Structures are given as structure tokens and as C-alpha cells.
């Protein structure tokens, strides 16, 4: 076991040692690469083979999710039709540690003829790839962490880090915000928080607990039991809310010797807390926490009852 810990620690130290050299290598070529992506009117096409290809897929995904439309193109498939996916408005990021991947020997002349600028991520600074590129990002290393110097380790880590630096620098230059990130991650927790509005998660139609202002406490109890929201909205004839009555109000009323025949108008809370349907769902959750409540009726811009929302609805929508 001690040997295993030693091997693991040795690898991490070697990779970190190589990675520490990257910040000082960023200069005009890095700026040029960022500007090519920022001014790009098409997509960013990322390509690499072997381990470079695996890292390239991650770089393309990072760019796409941070505001720079991108996709990965396998070099072999590119030579058998996928080059047709590239247009003159695109930018290409080609990844090869040696800079001598044979597939790129066929791809580079075509990109040049189309005037598609190339960003090279490579350790071969005198390679054909580097010489053909508009910007060269240097990921060269002195030593792979693999003891035989065969398996890409330090070099693939440097590639990943350089790709992250490129994607995040461009993202920040764009002024990319949380809301923008959420649009490309709508199924994630961030998307749920930032994209969903109250009207998207509220209960509607027959699921909304509602009784007229002429009703009794008994009517309110039936509606509370039917819907399970935790409150009932008491409405005037024009569907505007006169007040609210909760499960807790019912318990407190009965403990004070109130009766089920009492008029709901005499015991309701008026006008009661209401949530606009235009609010973001995360705003509704904050209001629930601030007011120490778990449910509220939802109103439109005219103040009319259009729905109901409780904290369980928010949690089920992934908002917490």
C-alpha cells in the first residue's frame, strides 16, 4: 500500500510541476486565440486524435456551455466527409502534442484554402501544425508522469488546463453570466433556479384551493383537505383575493372554540401574502423563507388569482 501511495504522489507532483510552467507561457498568441474566438461569426471546431481527442471533446463542451458555440470533429471522420461541417466563418482548434498527427497533414491545407484560422494546442513548436496556425498555445513538457514516458499524462493535463484557460478567458471577456450558463444547462439545478418562474411551477386550474368570500370555515376545511396546498384563497366575485386561510389558522381557530360554521371572512388573514406569477421561482423560495411560510396564492399583474404554490412544489422542481 505504501508503494501505491508513493506512485500516486509522484505522478501528481510531476504533473503539477509541469502545469506550473503554463501561466508564464501565456502571451500574445493566447490573446490572439481568444480574439479569434470572440470575433468568430461561426462555430469553434475542435479536433484531435487519441488522448488529444478525448481532451478536445471536453474543450469543445466547455466552450459550448460558456457562450462559444463549438463542436468536436474527429480527424479521421473529417477526412471522410465531416470536413463539410466546417464553413469559412468558423475557427479551428487543432490539438496534437507532437504537432505531426498525419491526419492534420490533409486537413490543414483545406482549412487554409477556406481561410479558416487555426489555433494550435501543441508541444511541437516547430511542427507543421504550429507553422500553419494563427496562434500557438504551448503545452510542452520536460517529462511525462508515466515512468516509461509513453502514456500521455503531464501533456494531456497541460492540454486540459490550456483549454480551460481559453474557454474561461473568453467567457469572462463576453461578460457571460449565470443566466447565460443556465440556458445551456436547463435540466441542472442552476437552470431550475435561474430559468423557472413561478408561473412555470405553480399549481393551476382545479388544483388551486379557492372559495368565495361568502363561504364558511367548513368550506375552507374541505378545500384545504381536497388540494393539500396548505392554504385556501378567499376570493371576491372578480377573482381578486380578499384573504387567505391556512391549515394553521384552522387549528388555532378550533383551539379558541371557533366553529366550522363561522364565516370565513371573519377569520381569514386579509389580504394575506401573495406571489406574482412573474417572479422567478427562486425569489418565491426566498420569500417563503423570509416570511417563515410554506405556501401562497399566485396572482397576475391585475391582482387576480391564477395559481397556488407551496414549498414542496419548488423542491420538486429542483429549486432549493
How far is CA 149 from each of CA 10, 52, 153, rounded to the nearest angstrom? 14, 16, 9
Measured on CA atoms in the order 287, 289, 290, 296, is the torsion positive or negative?
A: positive
Q: In what order do the strands lie in the sheet with 231-235?
A: 210-212, 231-235, 241-246
Question: Is there a binding annotation on residue 54?
Answer: no
Q: Count Cβ atoms within 10 A of the Cβ of residue 73 and give its class: 0-12 exposed, 13-18 middle, 19 or more buried.
A: buried
Q: Report how far residue 159's alpha carbon sits from residue 166's, in angstroms, rounded to the nearest whole number.
A: 11
Nearest to 202 by CA among 233, 181, 225: 233
Which DSSP string do the residues of 150-199 spell out, in sequence order? -S-SHHHHHHHHHHHHHHHHHHHHHT--HHHHHHT-TTSHHHHHHH-BHH
Hey, is 231 helix, strand or coil? strand
Those residues with Cβ within 8 angstroms of residue 101's Cβ, 6 or more apart along the chain or in another chain: 48, 49, 52, 75, 129
Write out the binding residues: 74
Write out the binding residues for Zn(2+): 74
Amino acid at each position: 500500500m505504501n508503494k501505491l501511495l508513493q506512485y500516486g504522489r509522484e505522478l501528481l507532483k510531476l504533473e503539477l510541476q509541469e502545469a506550473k510552467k503554463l501561466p508564464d507561457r501565456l502571451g500574445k498568441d493566447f490573446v490572439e486565440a481568444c480574439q479569434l474566438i470572440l470575433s468568430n461569426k461561426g462555430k469553434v471546431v475542435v479536433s484531435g486524435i487519441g488522448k488529444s481527442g478525448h481532451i478536445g471533446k471536453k474543450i469543445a463542451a466547455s466552450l459550448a456551455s460558456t457562450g462559444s458555440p463549438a463542436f468536436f470533429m474527429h480527424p479521421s471522420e473529417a477526412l471522410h466527409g465531416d470536413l463539410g461541417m466546417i464553413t469559412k466563418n468558423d475557427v479551428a482548434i487543432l490539438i496534437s502534442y507532437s504537432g505531426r498527427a498525419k491526419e492534420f497533414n490533409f486537413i490543414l491545407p483545406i482549412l487554409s484554402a477556406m481561410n479558416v484560422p487555426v489555433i494550435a494546442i501543441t508541444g511541437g513548436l516547430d511542427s507543421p501544425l504550429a507553422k500553419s496556425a494563427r496562434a500557438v498555445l504551448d503545452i510542452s513538457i520536460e517529462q511525462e508522469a508515466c515512468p516509461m514516458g509513453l502514456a500521455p499524462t503531464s501533456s494531456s493535463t497541460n492540454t486540459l488546463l490550456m483549454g480551460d484557460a481559453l474557454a474561461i478567458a473568453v467567457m469572462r471577456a463576453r461578460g457571460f453570466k449565470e443566466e447565460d450558463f443556465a440556458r445551456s444547462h436547463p435540466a441542472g439545478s442552476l437552470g431550475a433556479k435561474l430559468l423557472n418562474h413561478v408561473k412555470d411551477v405553480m399549481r393551476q386550474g382545479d388544483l388551486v384551493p379557492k372559495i368565495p368570500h361568502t363561504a364558511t370555515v367548513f368550506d375552507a376545511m374541505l378545500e384545504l383537505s381536497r388540494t393539500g396546498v396548505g392554504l385556501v384563497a378567499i376570493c371576491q366575485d372578480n377573482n381578486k383575493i380578499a384573504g387567505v386561510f391556512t391549515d394553521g389558522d384552522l387549528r388555532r381557530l378550533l383551539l379558541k372554540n371557533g366553529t366550522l360554521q363561522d364565516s370565513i371572512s371573519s377569520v381569514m388573514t386579509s389580504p394575506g401574502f401573495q406571489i406574482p406569477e412573474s417572479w422567478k421561482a427562486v425569489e418565491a423560495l426566498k420569500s417563503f423563507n423570509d416570511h417563515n411560510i410554506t405556501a401562497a396564492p399566485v396572482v397576475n399583474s391585475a391582482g387576480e388569482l391564477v395559481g397556488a404554490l407551496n414549498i414542496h412544489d419548488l423542491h420538486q422542481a429542483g429549486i432549493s
